[in-house]
Amino acid sequence: MKRMSRFLCSLVTVMILITNIAFADDFVKNEEFFNAVKKYVMNNYAGEITEDELYDAAIKGMFENLDKHSIYMDKETNESFSESVNGKMYGIGALINVRDGKLNIVEPMEDSPAQKSGLIAGDVIVAIGDERLGEIKDIKEVINKIKGDKGTNVNLTISRSGKEFKVDIKRDEIKIKSVKYRVIEGDIGYIKISQFTTEVEDEVEVAVNELKKQGINKAVLDLRGNPGGSLSAVVEVSKHFVPKGKVVIVRDAKDKVINHYSKGEVAFDKLTVLVDENSASASELLSGAIQDTKSGTLIGKTTYGKGTVQTVLPLKNGESIKLTIAKYYLPSDRSIDGTGVTPDIDCDRYDIDIDKFIELNIDNKLSKGDAGLDVLAVQQRLGAMGYNIDDPKGVYQDSTFKAVEKFQKDTGLYAYGSADLTTLNKINEEFAKYMTLDKMDKQLKKSIEILKK
């Protein structure tokens, strides 16, 4: 009886508040309204819910009405975010983003489980285990399902060129190195910045100094797949590539303007910059400033188009708020938000048409006499990697047998000419690595051509 009395009392309170909403023009939805609704739910909801969960849900709902980069992160999501910013994570080793509501592989990391499983930039994850992914609204929630303890497996369904295939990936500890560098073509420096983490400034400094010691005065700066990161880090890094002067203009919610400047310690006489549709945020700032100051040539595809600044506010219980607080503009005062940076030279990434490749099914052993799309998929990959095959397309005859046998010898497998599970997995892994080689990188080759002129 007492419970029924409490129920009716709560119900009347909520109904009165709702009536006020409907009939009072000056009604304000305030703390009283929120608390009454919360109390009613807590007292009468037939399922299981805690007060903390209601608060989390309410705050998340608040952020749904803001831009897509402003989010409330619960404790688990915040820990995941902190791991990525600080350069350490557990999972498959791939940079992932959401584009047009779909979960995309931006870039598999070198020697990562993702790369070893044959994933390449541009693949779309359409299912995790048995769960099909609809339109992605909360990328952190999805990424947490892909991540997991070292040694555990995650099964992904991948879409590539409109065709789907499954891949089972063993998770591992992923140590992110933000910067890699080397000398190519004998006299050209190559610096790849994967993201602007807290360590990137020191890593770029090392890369530049080591290349300069070797007498390198022209370089390729690779920002493809770089999702951004720290604003202060990209401003500091800009000194190596942008002449002294403005590198970014920030305008906050109250239209206050803050200019950030490059120190102008430009390291190279000649520079090309590689960008693609997954170059976002801080990487767009750097590439856009280089373009505005005519200190380098941009090559690739139009960038993502994220021209806003977020700040992270840690909360006491391990949660945090990531809120858009300003917009940024390039030195020429142009905005790239929603439009991106258009490269000076538009160029596709791969030297072969990957869209024409059949997906490789690793579930079926293939032997001489077999025929079909699975055979064609093996022939395409081995042929691209330089193995001679002159059998009819999709038919496993002598030259396909010999190509598989030679591949097995070259990669340390038992060489007997049939493509078993181990061999097919290895073909996938080696093909993914092959696609990252300089000779397959059309954009890099174009960069080298310009630098050598």
Neighbours of 147 (CB within 10 A): 18
Q: Read off the amino acid at residue 260.
A: H
The CA angle 351-421-362, to the nearest 5 degrees, is 55
The DSSP-derived string for 154-193 is EEEEEEETTEEEEEEEE-EEEE--SEEEEEETTTEEEEEE
d(CA 103, CA 44): 38
d(CA 301, CA 276): 4
d(CA 282, CA 226): 8
| Long-range contacts of 104-109, Cβ-Cβ distance < 8 Å, separation of 24 or more | 104/278, 105/158, 106/225, 106/227, 106/278, 107/194, 107/224, 107/225, 107/278, 108/432, 109/174, 109/176, 109/194
What residues pair up with 153 in beta bridges, in sequence order? 170
The CA angle 206-212-217, to the nearest 5 degrees, is 130
d(CA 124, CA 105): 6
Across the chain, which distance is largest between two alpha carbons, in Å? Answer: 89
Phi-psi region of 280 (alpha: psi -120 to 50; beta: other; left: phi over 0): beta
Out of 172, 276, 292, 420, the active site residue is 292
In this structure, the strands spanning 172-175 and 88-91 are: antiparallel
Burial class (CB in 10 A: 0-12, 13-18, 19+), 1: exposed
- For residues 49-81, one letter each, b for 16 or more C-beta atoms within 10 angstroms of the residue's C-beta and e for the rest, the string is eeeeebeeeeeeeebeeeeeebbbbbeebbebb
Out of 116, 218, 246, 306, the active site residue is 306
d(CA 335, CA 329): 5
**DSSP for residue 359:** P
For 225, 240, 267, 278, the CA distances from 264, given in Å and listed in that order, are 26, 7, 9, 27
Neighbours of 213 (CB within 10 A): 8
Out of 262, 281, 283, 320, the active site residue is 281
CB 279 within 8 A of CB 290: no
| Active-site annotation holds for 346 | no
| Active-site annotation holds for 306 | yes
CB 268 within 8 A of CB 292: no
Tokens of 322: 């990531």
As annotated, the active-site residues are 281, 292, 306
